[in-house]
């Protein structure tokens, strides 16, 4: 146990249970097996899980309010939103790839074949940069909300927080959809999968609207907000189109006539 009057981490004078400079506990015990299991392994695991579950719940139930709470400084209960997004992207890619393999095995499903040099570049590019491409939705959301929802006078970084929590909710729902998609390999539950897919698709569309409404409803009338949301969606689709245009152009050496997709 630490009996010193100085913090063992930053060497600052300490008083109380925590160092006022770096936040480390002042009661430091020697690491033995019992201490390791109780304080390092179980506590760390529970803390991460608790933070992730709370953040997941907030991003689904009250994403706009959660974003505002975080912006206003209520952050200790939240798991890092952007780490969480990257973890979910990785999980979704793993599940999607495994699902595609099962589809080919069970249904002899025809896969898309991309011909020519473009095809040889396109598929590896998607595989290599999938996380970056999916994560790019967050700054796109932030840019568009920063342009369209100015009355609240939030800076761009704060719009990134709103976009991150909103996109986290979308990814959580999409993860559920990916998991539910495995029902097509069952004999009696494929109809449930079709119904759930429709419900999940509608929810994914409505969640960002719900999130931004919670965030900015006090600053815009409903008609004005609806108009700005429509612009938000159209602007996002336009940016994705331009983004795809430049990727395809770069990979095809700007020879769009040579790009062919055949089954």
Do 25 and 104 belong to one domain? Answer: no
Q: Which H or E run contains 114?
A: strand 113-114
The stretch 54-74 carries a mean pLDDT of 93
Residue-wise over 60-94: b if at least 16 C-beta within 10 A, else e? Answer: bebbbebbbbbbeeeeeebbebeebbeebbeebee
Q: Supply the pLDDT for residue 262.
A: 46
Do 118 and 235 belong to one domain? Answer: yes
Asked, for residue 147, whether it belongs to a domain, the answer is yes
Asked, for residue 235, whether it belongs to a domain, the answer is yes
Q: Supply the pLDDT for residue 131.
A: 79
Do 256 and 135 belong to one domain? Answer: yes
Q: Supply the pLDDT for residue 108.
A: 62
Do 148 and 23 belong to one domain? Answer: no
8 Å CB contact between 204 and 174: yes
- Domain range enclosing 212: 80-262
Query: Averaging pLDDT over each range in 55-64, 79-88, 253-262, which range is the top one?
Result: 55-64
Q: How high is the mean pLDDT of the chain?
A: 81
Do 12 and 133 belong to one domain? Answer: no
pLDDT band at 260 (very low <50, low <70, confident <90, very high): low
Do 8 and 124 belong to one domain? Answer: no
Asked, for residue 225, whether it belongs to a domain, the answer is yes
8 Å CB contact between 3 and 29: no
Asked, for residue 56, whether it belongs to a domain, the answer is no
Asked, for residue 175, whether it belongs to a domain, the answer is yes
Paired tokens of 97: 């790839």
Do 250 and 168 belong to one domain? Answer: yes
Query: Averaging pLDDT over each range in 1-5, 153-157, 176-180, which range is the top one?
Result: 153-157
Q: Supply the pLDDT for residue 52.
A: 87
Helix/strand/coil for 10: coil
Do 114 and 19 belong to one domain? Answer: no
Q: By CB neighbour count within 10 A (0-12 exposed, 13-18 middle, 19+ buried), where does 191 fall?
A: exposed
Q: Which residue has the higher pLDDT, 2 or 145?
A: 145
Q: Supply the pLDDT for residue 263.
A: 42
pLDDT band at 101 (very low <50, low <70, confident <90, very high): confident
Asked, for residue 144, whether it belongs to a domain, the answer is yes
Q: Supply the pLDDT for residue 102.
A: 81
DSSP assignment of 148-191 equals H--TT---HHHHHHHHHHHHHHHHHHHHHHHHHGGGGGSSS-HH
The DSSP letter of residue 78 is -
Do 106 and 20 belong to one domain? Answer: no
Do 194 and 130 belong to one domain? Answer: yes
How many domains does the chain divide into? Answer: 2
pLDDT band at 37 (very low <50, low <70, confident <90, very high): low
Asked, for residue 154, whether it belongs to a domain, the answer is yes
8 Å CB contact between 106 and 185: yes
Percentage of residues in the chain having pLDDT higher than 70: 76
Do 1 and 121 belong to one domain? Answer: no
Asked, for residue 113, whether it belongs to a domain, the answer is yes
Do 95 and 24 belong to one domain? Answer: no
pLDDT band at 170 (very low <50, low <70, confident <90, very high): very high
Question: How do beta strands 113-114 and 261-262 pair?
Answer: antiparallel
Give the whole-angstrom CA distance, residue 176 versus residue 236: 24
Each residue's pLDDT tens digit, 133-143: 888 999 999 99
pLDDT at 161 over 80: yes
Task: Count Cβ atoms below 10 Å from residue 146 Cβ, excluding itself.
Answer: 19
């Amino acid at each position: 146990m630490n009996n010193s009057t100085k913090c063992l981490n930053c060497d600052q004078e300490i008083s109380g249970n925590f160092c006022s400079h770096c936040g480390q506990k002042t009661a430091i015990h020697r690491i033995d097996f019992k201490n390791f299991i109780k304080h390092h392994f179980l506590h760390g695991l529970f803390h991460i899980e608790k933070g992730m579950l709370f953040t997941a719940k907030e991003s689904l139930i009250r994403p706009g309010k959660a974003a505002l709470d975080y912006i206003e400084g209520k952050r200790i209960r939240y798991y890092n939103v952007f780490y969480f997004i990257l973890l979910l992207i990785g999980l979704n890619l793993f599940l999607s790839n495994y699902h595609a393999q099962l589809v080919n095995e069970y249904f002899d499903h025809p896969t898309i074949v991309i011909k020519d040099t473009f095809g040889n570049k396109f598929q590896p590019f998607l595989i290599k940069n999938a996380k970056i491409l999916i994560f790019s939705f967050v700054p796109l959301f932030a840019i568009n909300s920063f342009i369209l929802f100015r009355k609240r006078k939030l800076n761009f970084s704060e719009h990134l927080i709103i976009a991150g929590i909103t996109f986290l909710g979308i990814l959580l729902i999409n993860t559920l959809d990916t998991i539910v998609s495995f029902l097509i390999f069952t004999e009696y539950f494929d109809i449930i999968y079709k119904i759930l897919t429709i419900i999940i698709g509608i929810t994914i569309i409505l969640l960002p609207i719900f999130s931004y409404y919670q965030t900015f409803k006090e600053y815009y009338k409903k008609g004005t907000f609806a108009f700005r949301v429509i612009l938000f969606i159209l602007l996002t689709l336009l940016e994705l189109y331009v983004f795809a245009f430049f990727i395809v152009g770069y990979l095809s050496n700007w020879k769009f006539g040579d790009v062919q997709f055949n089954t």
